[in-house]
């Protein structure tokens, strides 16, 4: 039963991804501007300020934690 539920969810997400890819290839949907998204994230990081509590720069800690966690999840799933 669990395999059926997970398989159905994967199929639905895969079809949504395929639909978006076809729309982008056909020119009906715009591509995401990665440089603009990076600049927005960079500016948000600058505006967050520099807070040091308990000897940690919290913005740097959270960004590093997110990066290491995502890399760990990717390598453990392959």
Q: What is the pLDDT of residues 25-65, one digit of tens each?
A: 888 887 778 899 889 988 887 887 777 778 888 888 888 88
Q: Which two tokens stand for residue 57?
A: 């720069």
pTM given for the model = 0.41
Alpha helices for 26-57 (secondary structure H): 34-47
What does residue 18 show for φ and ψ, rounded to 5 degrees? Answer: -65, -40
Cβ-based burial of 63 (10 A; exposed 0-12, middle 13-18, buried ≥19): middle
**H or E stretch including 23?**
helix 2-25
14 in Cβ contact with 7 (< 8 Å)? no
> Looking at the predicted structure, is the pLDDT value of residue 71 above 80?
no
């Amino acid at each position: 039963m669990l395999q059926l539920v997970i398989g159905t969810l994967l199929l639905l997400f895969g079809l949504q991804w395929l639909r978006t890819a076809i729309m982008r290839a056909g020119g009906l949907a715009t591509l995401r501007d990665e440089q603009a998204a990076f600049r927005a994230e960079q500016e948000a990081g600058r505006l967050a300020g520099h807070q040091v509590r308990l000897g940690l720069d919290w913005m740097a800690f959270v960004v590093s934690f997110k990066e290491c966690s995502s890399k760990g999840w990717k390598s453990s799933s392959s």
